Amino acid sequence: MVTLIHPRTQAPAARHTPLRHLGPNWYATVMGTAIIANAGAGLPVRVPGLTVVWGLSLAMLTVLVAARAAHWRHHRDQARAHLMDPGVAPFYGCMSMAFLAVGIATLTVGKDVIGEGAAVPLAWVLYAIGTATGLAVAVGIPYLMVVRHQVAPGSASPVWLLPVVAPMVSATLGALLVPHLPAGQAREAMLLGSYALFGMSLLAVLVMLPVIFARLVHEGPLPLLLTPALFLVLGPLGQSTTAVNKLADVAPGAVDAAYAGGLSAFAVVYGVPVMGFALMWLALATAMVVRAARSGMPFAMTWWAFTFPLGTCVTGAEGLAHHTGLAAFTWLAYGLYALLATAWLVAAAHTARGLLSGRLLAAPR
């Protein structure tokens, strides 16, 4: 994903180095790849190649972390400028979610390759890094927006959601780790802590969504390059539905039966209306993207917004299918997964072409 606003600070001696303009938005490629494995693992049918996709996402994360570390070491002025840019800073939320998405894929798919004995420790490491950075970003980026960034009136965009969605992904991975803790206080603390992360993220999203929609109504459509970012709204909707269903799955082994039954009911009572709203927003966002495409919307890294948010709706539908037994949710998951796979293929192909040509790592215009 990219933004239309870029920091102007450049060090003349390093202006043309490939890593200088490597921003945190590149973590979206890792998220979008890992969700292919996460969503595919939850479908009733066996999807071929998921272990390959997991391995690819892990390799991409490793390479990108090394590249971003080099970016901070050799282009610290540009890295600081990214943090001070209200159009770039929210993408630091992608960093946290990349670790967490690969962690989920490690437990759901990767364990078939490296074994549970290696998958669980790796998932714990990814969870720790993703959650720590996610909490820091969820507080730090809004803080910078208030006290340091120069945010113009009417400039709200869906990318503002990125910093506050990460704790919701932590809640989902936390649910998968609950059974790997000792029974008793440890499992209960992890379960309730994950619900706290869920609530933290949900309430922050509820604060921001009205501002984002008001910007659309009063200022009109987003710029062409940023139009795919409308799909980012699907992220907290699908991820929150996924989180409550995954947490309900492990609640019986962590809390009393009375609470576990209530949490299972909450997963359905919460998830069904939210999934309904997600489908409505998907239709609205698709209509806006079609409009932008007719106006000549070119490829940009924002196209990766078509992947991870849509994938969370797949996993949300899978969770509702499990808890309700309703075949309609299963078919919904199939349909959304087909869209997800198509979006990933298109975004990945254009990204590979842009990397080979050097265009995607060139200085922004």
pLDDT of residue 148: 87
> Residue 25 in contact with residue 64, Cβ under 8 Å?
no
User: Tokens for 122?
Assistant: 């790796």
> Residue 282 in contact with residue 235, Cβ under 8 Å?
no
Q: How far apart are the first and last CA of the chain?
A: 15
**pTM for this prediction:** 0.93
Q: Which CATH number fits domain 16-361: 3.40.140.10, 1.50.10.150, 3.40.718.10, 3.30.1330.60?
A: 1.50.10.150
User: Tokens for 116?
Assistant: 């549970």
More confident residue, 323 or 10: 323
C-alpha distances in Å from residue 75, one per residue of 86, 199, 339: 19, 37, 38
List CB contacts of 305: < 8 A, sequence separation 6 or more.
1, 28, 158, 228, 229, 230, 231, 232
115: left (phi over 0), alpha (psi -120 to 50) or beta: left
pLDDT of residue 37: 97
pLDDT tier, 152 (very low <50, low <70, confident <90, very high otherwise):
confident
CA angle (310 as vertex; 245, 252 as ends), nearest 5 = 10
pLDDT tier, 179 (very low <50, low <70, confident <90, very high otherwise):
very high
Domain ranges of the chain: 16-361
CA 347, 2, 96, 274 dihedral sign is negative
182: left (phi over 0), alpha (psi -120 to 50) or beta: beta
pLDDT tens digits along 64-114? 999 999 999 999 999 898 899 888 999 999 999 999 999 999 999 999 999
Q: What is the DSSP string of 113-169?
A: HH-HHHHHHHHHHHHHHHHHHHHHHHHHHHHHHHHT--PPTT---GGGGHHHHHHHH
pLDDT of residue 16: 53
Q: Give 47's DSSP letter.
A: P
Give the integer Cα–Cα distance in Å for 18 and 16.
6
Mean pLDDT of the chain: 93
pLDDT of residue 365: 65
> Residue 333 in contact with residue 314, Cβ under 8 Å?
yes
> Residue 188 in contact with residue 254, Cβ under 8 Å?
yes
Q: Is 304 exposed, middle or buried (0-12, 13-18, 19+ CB in 10 A)?
A: buried
Element (H, E) at 333: helix 327-357
> Residue 139 in contact with residue 162, Cβ under 8 Å?
no
Rg (CA), the chain: 20
Residue 355 has pLDDT above 60, yes or no: yes
CA angle (101 as vertex; 40, 168 as ends), nearest 5 = 110
Q: Which amino acid is at 160?
A: W
> Residue 231 in contact with residue 157, Cβ under 8 Å?
no
pLDDT of residue 11: 41
pLDDT of residue 58: 97
User: Tokens for 41?
Assistant: 């693992």
pLDDT of residue 275: 98
Q: Which amino acid is at 52?
A: V
